[in-house]
């Protein structure tokens, strides 16, 4: 990193400080993880210089032979990992992947049905401030008072609103989904079924959660959460099928498959040039995820999350839905007389990173919230087991019990430091 240090010392210093923050803080944001050095090396490669609009073998630029190799490897590995017919690895993010789904399946004003953001859904599943809620008619299902989705209620709602598309997936729902039941509802009302597996993708790849690919017509994901790849998105189709909208290929008059509609929606529909350096890094991450070590890692992520929920419960906290099936835990702080915002700030001061989060039926705004969301993917990458999680929750409890006590914060910071140094993360500044 000598070049950067001398050419741009301010950026170099920011990176150095971020490395230190990641090394010595407890990272519990449920959507984050730590990539391998190999993933970082691919991401920092000269592929960032290359334009490669189009798909392997069908590019709009010359000089794409090595970009083709990288993208073909990424596609082939992703298909093996998720046992599916087709993938597009070009979406720059989960939001871009989701935008391509809307472009392929809906016209402006069409109705779709998704999980309410206030009940754990995602911005791109119809929030009024997102394009998905601005351009389309978003309707929602939610969770029940017990924090679980009731499929009978989803069915009632679908029959009432007759959506063209039903989405599954969440950013703050700790339970697994019944994809078969969702598909039966979609078939009953004549809707396409789309699963956004951004959060649990790694656990699904490892075979530890239900598999959406056999049931959802379309699946999207990010690649950087439990999947532990570079920041990016992807679209998958389990079994390709003729698109139900009758859209035809321009020259042949042939009805295109769903995969072809989605390819066109990504480029030229939503994006320009793909990020070839990120695609190369996705290929590296997918190969890592195909190894038995990744299954062991994912199993530990799940065990750590279960342990985290149990320790919170044993310390008198309310855990939404009473536990977790995946990598995340949503804690309702209303009984503790604090808010998500205040808890996030207090924990930040102790070098423990979480995010404030709405809980179902929250009476506070998204800027305040009644909950915090925590995940175990990142700390598990650095080697945490159940006993470390128990210690982590004890530290969180200490802070939340006495958030204004500087001596408590001082002690917790020291404990966080020693917990982190017991599990070293990055011993380098750049790949």
**Which residues are near ligand DSN by CB under 6 A?**
31, 94, 122, 171
User: How many other β-carbons are positioned within 10 Å of the β-carbon of residue 317?
Assistant: 20
Whether 222 is catalytic is yes
Q: Which of 51, 417, 423, 426 is catalytic?
A: 51
Sort strands 352-353 and 26-27 into parallel, antiparallel or unpaired: parallel
Whether 53 is catalytic is yes
CB of 171 to ligand DSN, least distance (A): 3
Kindly give, in sequence order, each residue whose CB lies less than 8 Å from that of residue 337, ignoring residues fewer than 6 positions away: none
- CB nearer to ligand DSN: give 149 or 409: 149
Whether 51 is catalytic is yes
- CB nearer to ligand DSN: give 31 or 326: 31
CB of 348 to ligand DSN, least distance (A): 16
- Dihedral Cα 148, 154, 156, 159, nearest 10 deg: 180
Tracing tokens 């007759």 back to the chain, one arrives at 162
Q: Which of 220, 222, 324, 380 is catalytic?
A: 222
DSSP 332: E
Tokens of 154: 């989803």
Whether 71 is catalytic is no
Whether 421 is catalytic is no
CB of 48 to ligand DSN, least distance (A): 23
- CB nearer to ligand DSN: give 165 or 198: 198
Nearest in space to 200 (alpha carbons), one of 186, 218, 182, 219: 219
Q: Which of 16, 32, 53, 72 is catalytic?
A: 53
Q: Which of 27, 116, 196, 388 is catalytic?
A: 196
3-class state of residue 191 by DSSP:
coil
Q: Is the Cβ–Cβ distance between 205 and 222 less than 8 Å?
A: no
- CB nearer to ligand DSN: give 94 or 232: 94
Whether 231 is catalytic is yes
Query: In b/e form, how buried is each residue of 174-196, taking b as 16+ CB within 10 angstroms?
Result: bbebbbeebbebbeebebbbbbb
Q: Which of 75, 157, 183, 225 is catalytic?
A: 225
Residue 110's alpha-carbon distances to 138, 177, 369, in angstroms, are: 8, 25, 31
- CB nearer to ligand DSN: give 171 or 326: 171
- CB nearer to ligand DSN: give 31 or 90: 31
CB of 420 to ligand DSN, least distance (A): 22
CB of 43 to ligand DSN, least distance (A): 19
Residue 281's alpha-carbon distances to 110, 219, 297, 318, 342, in angstroms, are: 36, 21, 19, 39, 37
Tokens of 267: 């480029």
Q: Which of 50, 175, 231, 373 is catalytic?
A: 231
CB of 94 to ligand DSN, least distance (A): 6
Q: Which residues are catalytic?
A: 51, 53, 196, 222, 225, 231
């Amino acid at each position: 990193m000598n070049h950067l240090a001398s050419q741009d010392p301010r950026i170099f210093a920011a990176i150095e400080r971020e490395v230190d923050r990641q090394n010595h803080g407890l990272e519990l944001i449920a959507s984050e993880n730590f990539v391998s050095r190999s993933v970082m090396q691919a991401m920092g490669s000269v592929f960032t210089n290359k334009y490669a609009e189009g798909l392997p073998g069908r590019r709009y630029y010359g000089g794409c032979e090595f970009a083709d190799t990288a993208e073909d490897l990424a596609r082939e590995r992703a298909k093996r990992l998720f046992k599916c017919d087709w993938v597009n690895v070009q979406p720059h993010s989960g939001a871009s992947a989701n935008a391509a789904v809307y472009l392929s399946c809906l016209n402006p004003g069409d109705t779709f049905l998704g999980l309410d953001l206030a009940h754990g859904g995602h911005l791109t599943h119809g929030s009024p401030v997102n394009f998905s809620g601005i351009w389309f008619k978003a309707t929602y299902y939610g969770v029940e008072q017990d924090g679980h989705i009731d499929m009978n209620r989803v069915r009632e709602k679908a029959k009432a609103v007759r959506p063209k598309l039903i989405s599954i997936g969440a950013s703050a729902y700790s339970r697994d989904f019944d994809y078969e039941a969702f598909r039966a509802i979609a078939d009953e009302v004549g809707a396409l079924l789309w699963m956004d597996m951004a959060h649990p993708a790694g656990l699904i790849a490892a075979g530890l959660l239900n598999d959406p690919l056999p049931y959802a017509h379309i699946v999207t994901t990010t690649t950087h959460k439990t999947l532990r790849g570079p920041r990016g998105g992807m679209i998958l189709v389990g079994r390709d099928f003729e698109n139900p909208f009758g859209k035809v290929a321009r020259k042949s008059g042939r009805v295109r498959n769903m995969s072809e509609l989605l390819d066109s929606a990504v480029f030229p529909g939503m994006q320009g040039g793909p990020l070839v350096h990120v695609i190369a890094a996705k290929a590296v991450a997918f190969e890592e995820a195909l190894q038995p070590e990744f299954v062991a890692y994912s199993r530990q992520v799940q065990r750590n999350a279960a342990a985290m929920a149990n320790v919170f419960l044993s310390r008198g906290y309310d855990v939404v839905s009473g536990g977790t099936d995946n990598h995340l835990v949503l804690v309702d702080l209303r009984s503790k007389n604090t808010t998500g915002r205040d808890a996030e700030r207090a924990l930040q001061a102790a070098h423990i990173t979480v995010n404030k989060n709405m809980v179902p039926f929250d009476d506070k705004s998204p800027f305040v919230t009644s909950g915090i969301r925590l995940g175990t993917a990142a700390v598990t990458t650095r080697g945490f087991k159940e006993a470390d999680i128990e210690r982590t929750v004890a530290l969180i409890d200490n802070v939340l019990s006495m958030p204004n006590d500087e001596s408590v914060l001082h002690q917790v910071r020291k404990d966080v430091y020693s917990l982190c140094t017991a599990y070293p993360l990055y011993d380098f500044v750049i790949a």
